[in-house]
Amino acid sequence: MPLRNFVSLLFLALGALFGSALGAEELNVHFKTTPRLELLRPFADPIDLSLLVTGTDGRPVEGGSVAIRVDAPAPGVFFSTDYPLVEGTRLTELSLPLRQGTAGWKYLFPVRGEYRLTADVISDDGRKASKAFTFTVRENRRKWLALGAFSAGLFALGFVAGRIFTRPRANAISLIAVSALFAPTIGNVSAQQPAPGNAAVLEIAPATVGGPTDLRWSLPREGGAGDRFVALSLTITHLEKQKIVFAIEKIPVAGEWSMKFHFPDGAEYRVAAVGNAPGRAPVRTEQVVSVTGVEPPAGTMLRALAYFLGLIALGLGLGRWSKRRMASRP
């Protein structure tokens, strides 16, 4: 065999060998919600979210971690959501360990729209993968029905007012007065709690609506305890509505864990953490966080005001037109 052909075959064999080895290092990332995506509704119930990381052979990776970022939907064209300051912001940012290739947590989606979840995975053997998922949370049908009924009521109110107050020589001043009469009117705690003795420390930065807040849980390192792995459970609960908005269950952490969380409204939340360390009693820590509320953007209020006033004005116009038409008949 000529030397040139031998060298070519050798390079082809090496390329196939290394190519298959590199292909075996690829990771697949799968995203799942319970219940399924079609049934999700904003601020209804906490949802179970999970990520599954497998190799090309379909087997879950043995270990590693995944960095997770969840971004809220972009602002709507006309109608805002219940929490306009949440739109287009970062909602959560955290890192979870992979156990048999899976990572799971609970979350309560605050608004409708298209969300984006980004997962950056690194396995214990150094393999990496990154994948983004987009999914839509639909608005509750009852809210659309309520908006339709309220809009119909404003239109009917304008129509009746237009017929009642219309006279053959009515002028624009009376219309302005009626419109104004029926127009709708528009009308933090530092979070480090002292930890006596061997209690864990839960640090929460001052929380304000409009951006994520830093949360950090740690265990004191007395006697090397902080170097041991601890099974951490953490829950964030909306106290007024008594709903869990975020939760993780018994994830192994090396003495400390942190995340960023966006509180969607200016209410009170309870953050409760339980750490289970080998050879010691469970360590419980709890805080109540008062979130500082912020007024929604002026554009959001002006769009809603223009919509409602427009419905009343349309009803007034049609009411005046129907009254004059009946008066002009012989």
Q: Is 146 helix (H, G, I), strand (E, B) or coil?
A: helix
Residue 175 shares a structural domain with residue 209: no
- CATH code, domain with 103: 2.60.40.1940
Q: Are residues 322 and 175 in the same domain?
A: yes
For the chain, what percent of residues have pLDDT higher than 90? 48
14 is a domain residue: no
Instruction: State the pLDDT at residue 281.
Output: 87
HSE, CB side, 13 Å, CA atoms: give it for residue 57.
Answer: 7
The CATH number of residue 275's host domain is 2.60.40.10
Q: Are residues 129 and 166 in the same domain?
A: no
Whether 20 maps to a domain, the answer reads no
Number of domains in the chain: 3
Order of all β-strands in the sheet with 102-107: 27-34, 47-55, 102-107, 243-253, 230-238, 268-276, 283-290
Domain that holds residue 302: 142-187+296-328
State how far the Cα of 166 lies from the Cα of 25, in Å rounded to an integer.
78
Task: Say whether both 73 and 221 belong to one domain.
Answer: no
Largest CA distance in the chain: 112
The residue ranking higher by pLDDT, 18 or 108, is 108
For residue range 283-310, list pLDDT tens digits in order.
999 999 999 988 876 666 666 666 667 7
> Are 103 and 179 part of one and the same domain?
no
Is the distance from CB of 288 to CB of 269 less than 8 angstroms? yes
Q: Which of 106, 138, 170 is the last residue of a domain?
A: 138
- Return the beta strands (E) in 72-194 as ranges: 90-97, 102-107, 113-123, 128-137, 191-192
pLDDT at 206 over 90: yes
Average pLDDT over residues 45-50: 94
Average pLDDT over residues 230-256: 95
C-alpha distances in Å from residue 203, one per residue of 3, 217, 254: 69, 6, 17
In the chain, how many H helices and how many E strands?
Answer: 4, 15
Smallest Cα–Cα separation from 50: which of 117, 2, 115, 130? 117
Asked if 174 and 266 sit in the same domain, the reply is no
Does residue 278 lie within any of the structural domains?
yes
